[in-house]
Structure 1
Amino acid sequence: MNRVGGRHAHSHGDLPEASRRTRRIVAAVLIPAALVTLIAMLVMWPGRVDLPGGTSGGERVLGTVTAVAATSATVQVDNGPVTTVDLPQGPGAVTLADGDEVVLLHFPGAVPGGPDYTVVDHQRGGGLTWLLALTVAVILVFGRWRGLTSLAGLAISFAVLLFFIIPAILEGSPPLLVAVVGASAIMFAALYLTHGVTVHTSVAVAGTLASLIVTGLLGAAFTAALHLTGVANDDDSFLSVTQGSIDMRGLLLAGIIIGALGVLDDVTVTQATTVAEMAQAGGTTCWGLYRAAIRIGRAHVASAVNTIVLAYAGTSLPLLLLIAAGPQPVGELLTSEFLSQEILRSAVGTIGLVASVPITTALATLVAEISVNGRHRLPQP
């Protein structure tokens, strides 16, 4: 930081350092929250969850197509024989061509007189590896050190999902409580790794945590009010039958919490940084600072809400086509269990997103140090 013309000039992208008093206040709130999250994770940490391995009634093996005929194909099984398989039939069936690398199910005697191998899918490991490598390279080239820390935060998010949230739910722990604890752990790790341990990041963490609480409470209230069971399709039914210890309604709420976190952290970080930058520029009161930041937040929320709706529409496009082509009345479809769940997810997530803007902006304004004539002062009540 250089002193220019009697004023403190910060390098591009830097924010003014908060006072010791402000840092103490923020730490007094967030350190206990982080400790509670850590203790809750340790208490609920799942033991070893034994899942059935392999494919029921057969073994998955890899192979390469060497020839294709009218109704059959010749496949060289990796470390195995050359075999003839029937071409897959039906909607969405795998299309085979010479040289394709495929996944086969080895089930001798499944069909009397039929082949022992059946093609079930294409191998995609190589293509996915190159795609992920390209994604990582783009993030690192553009984001540099910040890109590296964001990838580290992403790795921690996946680790929490795979080693805590999913096993804990399978073990029978309450899905909503697991999701809240897991989302809090992801939030602390990802935000601090990506944006650094600063007061401004801490404000974003506090705003995200408060918004998640709002989202969770609304989700629980409307799930009960709409009499949703959490069992809306064949996958839900299968999971409910095979894993009877899982609370399906709690699982629905857990999905809402985890889904909301991905959007909330973007909005809260933006608002916290916006307030800090505007406070550094000075020339306004606390109320003026809050109102100006809220105007920016409204524009951000408007685009984010559109993003949420389009994301849901994109993933549910086959369902929307089925609704448009089906004979069932639209009102009846919209109030069905399945669509009611989707409407609940998007509506509650949107409300939580909107609430995050005034919450985070207010918190950021409370801890902001407004620059006046080259000096910084705490906001007056």
Structure 2
Amino acid sequence: MLKFPKKLIIILVLVSLIAPMSIESITHAREIEEQEVEEYYRGKVLFVREIESEGHSRMVEQRAEVLLTTGPHQGEKITVRNTYEEGNTYLSLYLEEGQDVILVSRDATDQLEKIYLHDVARDRGLFYLTIIFMLLLVLVGGKSGLKTIITLVFAGLVIARFMLPALLGGYDPIFITSISAVIIIIPTLLIIGGVNEKSLAAIIGTATGVGIAGLLTLWVGELAYLTGFNSEEAMMLFNLDQDINIRGLLFAGIIIGSLGAVTDVSMSVASAIFEISNNNRTLRVSNLMLAGLNVGRDIMGTMANTLLLAYVGSAIPLLLLLLGVEMHWMRIINMDIIATEFVRGITGSIGLIISIPVTAFVAAVLMGKK
């Protein structure tokens, strides 16, 4: 009789649970995709000719011969036009020979003369970077690195195939994101830590920390009148013909954003207690919990800085803009976008801090001398 690994059984059960829930949302997303008539192809620039515009010395019009490398017209050549102006944000695409480009057809008949230049191709650079990242994970981490790759792929599938289609389908963002977080947490920690007390403690600690961060966000969001319209993307979503809770997306983003850091801290504390307990079976619950708290305190400072610095890093252009126009601090701190980023960073850090004593307590109870 064949025996299946416990981890595989757990993952299959979770997938079977989320599959029925995601069918409707995925179908809805596919219907939206089918309404699009745009088709994208890849091409390579063979030759570029430049024509300077009269009366505008910095404006350059380019005529490029492009070889189509994908699509129904693969192998055929077309001529595309491009306008470039140095220092212009919207006319900054400069074509060169040998460059890979993306072309778009906005006509359902797929005629060759209806294909236009869209942008330069950037996906290959991203692909090479991903390969380097995975190779380093395996070379440095060995078996653990391979587990990390598996968990990353699983988390990506849950987000792409369940969470995002469900949000686009109009389901409650906080509920869907919370379910997605649980689905990601359990297999990830079980694969990395194994089916044992360590993983159980880390799962409970992570769920508690992320849950606290979500609840705090809801409370402060009401108190601070956060709208969720803190980015251009949110405003564009509002104009879509979809029933999307923009404010709920704000809270959902904070839950997902804090998930990684909280998971890291919880597993680190649980692993430390697990190793201490294995080396000394005579230690009681109080001794193990104190040891876990000491480890957690050291991790807490660096991880809290990681969260805050990540949010500040993404907002550097905005902060420089505010400083450049010498805006009053009272106006700055009361801006929706600033208040949102502040809440995002602080609530995530609070969830991280809460997860430390919870994980330490659960792990100590599970592993300490009874």
Q: TM-score, normalised by structure 1?
A: 0.79
For 1:96 and 1:55, the matched residues in 2 are separated by: 27
Once the 2 structures are TM-superposed, how far is the Cα of residue 35 of structure 1 from its aligned partner?
8.5
Q: Is the 8 A contact 1:230 1:249 kept in 2?
A: yes
Once the 2 structures are TM-superposed, how far is the Cα of residue 107 of structure 1 from its aligned partner?
5.9
Q: Deviations over 1:8-28 (max 9, x none)?
A: xxxxxxxxxxxxxxxxxxxxx
For 1:234 and 1:130, the matched residues in 2 are separated by: 30
Once the 2 structures are TM-superposed, how far is the Cα of residue 128 of structure 1 from its aligned partner?
2.1
Corresponding residue number in structure 2 for 1:99: 98
Corresponding residue number in structure 1 for 2:287: 288
Aligned pair partner of 2:41 in 35, 49, 61: 61
**TM-align CA RMSD:** 2.6
Are 1:343 and 2:321 matched, yes or no? no
Are 1:152 and 2:150 matched, yes or no? yes
Q: Deviations over 1:101-132 (max 9, x none)?
A: 11234569xxxxxx966543211232222221
Corresponding residue number in structure 2 for 1:357: 356
Corresponding residue number in structure 1 for 2:207: 209
Instruction: Output the amino acid matched with 2:234.
Output: D
3-state SS of paired residue (2:252): helix
3-state SS of paired residue (1:103): strand
* Residues 1:280 and 1:116: Cα distance change in structure 2 (over 3 Å): closer
For 1:75 and 1:60, the matched residues in 2 are separated by: 17
Instruction: Output the amino acid matched with 1:338.
Output: I
Between 170-179 and 235-244, the greater mean CA deviation after superposition: 235-244
Instruction: Output the amino acid matched with 2:172.
Output: P
* Residues 1:289 and 1:336: Cα distance change in structure 2 (over 3 Å): same
Aligned pair partner of 1:86 in 51, 65, 82: 82
Corresponding residue number in structure 1 for 2:133: 135
Once the 2 structures are TM-superposed, how far is the Cα of residue 215 of structure 1 from its aligned partner?
1.2
Gaps of 5+ in 2: 1-9, 53-59, 69-73, 108-112
Q: Deviations over 1:33-55 (max 9, x none)?
A: x9999757745653402224587
Q: Is the 8 A contact 1:38 1:185 kept in 2?
A: no
Corresponding residue number in structure 2 for 1:319: 318
* Residues 1:285 and 1:59: Cα distance change in structure 2 (over 3 Å): closer
Q: Where in structure 2 are the equivalents of 1:184-333 lying within 5 Å? A: 184-282=182-280, 284-333=283-332
For 1:176 and 1:294, the matched residues in 2 are separated by: 30
Aligned length: 332
Corresponding residue number in structure 2 for 1:334: 333
Q: Is the 8 A contact 2:217 2:251 kept in 1?
A: yes
Corresponding residue number in structure 2 for 1:73: 63
Q: Is the 8 A contact 2:22 2:165 kept in 1?
A: no
Once the 2 structures are TM-superposed, how far is the Cα of residue 220 of structure 1 from its aligned partner?
0.9
Once the 2 structures are TM-superposed, how far is the Cα of residue 350 of structure 1 from its aligned partner?
0.5
Between 153-162 and 116-125, the greater mean CA deviation after superposition: 116-125
Corresponding residue number in structure 1 for 2:175: 177
Q: Is the 8 A contact 1:207 1:268 kept in 2?
A: yes
Q: Is the 8 A contact 2:102 2:119 kept in 1?
A: yes
Q: Is the 8 A contact 1:203 1:272 kept in 2?
A: yes
Once the 2 structures are TM-superposed, how far is the Cα of residue 183 of structure 1 from its aligned partner?
0.5
3-state SS of paired residue (2:118): strand
For 1:35 and 1:145, the matched residues in 2 are separated by: 24
Q: Is the 8 A contact 2:14 2:183 kept in 1?
A: no
3-state SS of paired residue (2:132): helix
Between 132-141 and 64-73, the greater mean CA deviation after superposition: 64-73
Q: Is the 8 A contact 2:266 2:359 kept in 1?
A: yes
Q: Deviations over 1:317-365 (max 9, x none)?
A: 2222212212432331222111111111111000000111011111111
* Residues 1:141 and 1:207: Cα distance change in structure 2 (over 3 Å): same
Q: Is the 8 A contact 1:183 1:261 kept in 2?
A: yes
Q: Percent identity?
A: 25
Once the 2 structures are TM-superposed, how far is the Cα of residue 293 of structure 1 from its aligned partner?
2.1
For 2:357 and 2:152, the matched residues in 1 are separated by: 27
